[in-house]
Each structure stands twice: as C-alpha cells, then as structure tokens.
Structure 1
C-alpha cells in the first residue's frame, strides 16, 4: 500500500518536472512526512525507497528516533519553540522552520553545545497569513545575513507553505514568486551559507510546486493515507 502510493508520488513528481522550463531541471528531494504515523509505517516507507523523513513535533520525533532503526535524513518541518532547540539539534539533520533571529540564536547555541553545525532553512510567510509562521519577504534579507553570521548554523535555503486554497491552482503565482526570491537569494554573497534548497509543496499542491521550481517537497497523506490520530 505505502510502496504503491510512494511510487505514484514519485511518478507525479517526474511528470511535474517534465512540465518545467529547461532552467528548472534539477532533482527533487521527496520528504515523507510521518507525523501521526507509527514507526512500522515509517519502516515500510523507508524499505520502499524513502530516504528523507519529516516530523512536525519534537516529542513525537524523539520517540521515533529512539526506535526507528533505519538510516535516514531527518527534517523538522513544523514550528520550533526556542525551548525545544536543544532536543531538535540532537535529532534533525535539517530544520526548515527558522523564522526569527531569536530562534536562530537558540538553535545556534544548542548546536554549539554538542559541537554541531546545524543545517537550517528560513521559512518565508509570503502570503502574510496570521495563522502561519515565517518571516515576511521585506525582512528576509536581514534575517538571512544574521543567520549566516551564526557560527554553528549553516543556511541551506528557504521554505514556504502556501495558503490552503479551495482551488489548488491559486498556489501557482505564490510558488512562482517564491522561486524568483530563491534565485535572488542564491546571488547574495554569504560567509558560510550554501543556498541549495527551496522547500515548498505538500500533498495537495506538490505537483504545482515542482512545476514552479521546488526542489524539496513534503508529502505525508499522499504516501501514508489519512493520519492516525
């Protein structure tokens, strides 16, 4: 079941890539979002070819991390509270949701405590939704430079979440704009940043995100089915 759904998602990604312009023919990393899915489902997905998993909550990730027994790349895709930074740096290879200098400093200090350089993305709230985290684009450059100055962080790119439109096509202009911003950020001269990733697109809109230039998508329900609450 999971293997079949995973195959379908990968085929959809390839189909979306085929619609892209020649300048966007980069690989796409698929992050299987395992929030509210058990370790057995995670193992099944990994054994079927998943290499990256995404979790939203520290406590749930911590329990799974201790028992999963598989070699995968761990992504934190949910909002991170500063008081959970110490736990986050012990588990996650890439944190997608840095949206304030205060949070960046907390992660930096936690990473320094275990002699780690923590890879991070900065989350952008392009639609300025009150219900979502993320820095507004007007303040983005300033935050990027400040994150770049923190010695135990390495800035790897940007993340965004599109509004949950009834018509998924309404996401397209936002994703297109986000790709433009990503391209501009890649031209900035940083000290240690390595701007590689544009993380955008989830189960309902990942194909449009890929068409518009995402190179990292976060898919849960599309692989695992409805969440087990």
Structure 2
C-alpha cells in the first residue's frame, strides 16, 4: 500500500477535531512529498538538524512540529520557524525557548510534556513541576511562549488497561490546568500503536509515523 493510501485510511479513522502529525523522522524528502501531495501538511521531527534541513528545501506551507527531546542549545536553530514544540519538559527549556522566540520576534506555541509512563527513561514534568510551570506562564513571566496544552507518551506495553489509565490521567490533568483558557486546547497523546485508544480518552492530536511511512529508517 502506498503512503498516500495509508494516509487516507488513517484520516478516515480520525474524528473531527483530532489533528494528525505525520512523524517523518528519518524519512526522505520524497516520502514526505508523497504525504504532502495526498494533503498532509503537519509533520513531526525529533532531531533539530534533520528538521532544519527539511524545512529549508520542502514547501513553506508545511507546519513543522518538534516532537523529540529538545536540548536547550539547539532551540536557536528552530526558533524562527517551528510551529509547535511538543516535548517541553523543564522550566530551563521553557526559558530558553522564550528567549529565542523573543529574538525571532514571534510567539512560540509549546506543549508541556508530562511523565505518565512507568519507564523512567521517558522525559516530562511531574504534577508538582507542571503546576509550577503553569503558574509562571499565567504570571506572564515568559511573554514569548504560548502553552497550548500537554503531551505525553504512554508506557510501551501490551497492557491496554495500563495505557488507558495513563491517557486518562493526562486528560484529567489537561482539563484541570486548562480550565477557563480557550487557547489551552491541544492534548497530544497517541502514536501508531495506541492512537485509537488515546482518541477514546480525549486526545486532540496524534503522532503517527510507521503506520504512514512504514518502519523507521536507521539514521
């Protein structure tokens, strides 16, 4: 099945209000253009160098999302163009993004990453840290950042009940933190293996790579 056909099949499974991020990390510009020609405009990358290289040569109406772990010293390379940064996992990173967005004279949309999985290797704020970050945001101490919502990655497990519980916890936190804020409206959770479950639990944005492009290429 072609990339275009896979994409069309997936789009049919998405209810209104759910955005598809096509995860194009390690994929060629040709593969991205096949998805683009089929109508996809939102793509996600997890490495800054690869993201910048693709942004430079591919159509400018593509919305690029940084979905991987972002190091503070790499923010400056994407601050001028990236549409949404998913994996903001510390106050230090938030402050660096604010600084670089101010230099680029733009407001940077971000998602705060919450650690919901049982694996300690995954990144993210815990509940106390995210509450502190939101207080700083609401106090307008970081004027060049707009926090649009939350992002989380569930445990890599066959236990659907555990995954559902993690997604449900993230949705409850999202509802509590976003109360009264109409711009706090993105809940990014769900990947190729669990996105339908994530949507059932309230996800508004899913990040799918292998189900569109096939298995990941080795960089």
TM-score by length of 2: 0.93
Equivalent residue, structure 1, for 2:175: 183
Equivalent residue, structure 2, for 1:201: 190
Equivalent residue, structure 2, for 1:21: none
Asked if 2 retains the 8 angstrom alpha-carbon contact of 1:62 and 1:91, the reply is no
Shift in Å at residue 88 of structure 1? 2.1
Shift in Å at residue 168 of structure 1? 4.0
Over 3 Å counting, the alpha-carbon distance change for 1:188 and 1:140 in structure 2 is: farther
Equivalent residue, structure 1, for 2:21: 31
C-alpha separation between the residues in 2 aligned to 1:128 and 1:167?
A: 12
Count of aligned pairs between the two proteins: 215
Equivalent residue, structure 2, for 1:42: 32
Off by >4 Å, runs of 4+ in structure 1: none
Over 3 Å counting, the alpha-carbon distance change for 1:200 and 1:83 in structure 2 is: same
Secondary structure of 2:121 counterpart? coil
Shift in Å at residue 128 of structure 1? 5.4
| Unmatched 5+ stretches in structure 1 | 15-25
Asked if 2 retains the 8 angstrom alpha-carbon contact of 1:169 and 1:208, the reply is no
Equivalent residue, structure 1, for 2:44: 54
Equivalent residue, structure 2, for 1:226: 215
C-alpha separation between the residues in 2 aligned to 1:60 and 1:8?
A: 27
Shift in Å at residue 71 of structure 1? 1.3
What is the alpha-carbon root mean square deviation over aligned residues?
1.6
TM-score by length of 1: 0.89
Secondary structure of 1:60 counterpart? helix
Shift in Å at residue 137 of structure 1? 1.6
1:196-225 CA-partner distances (Å, limit 9, x unpaired): 100000010001000110000000001000
* Residues 1:127 and 2:128 are matched in the alignment: no
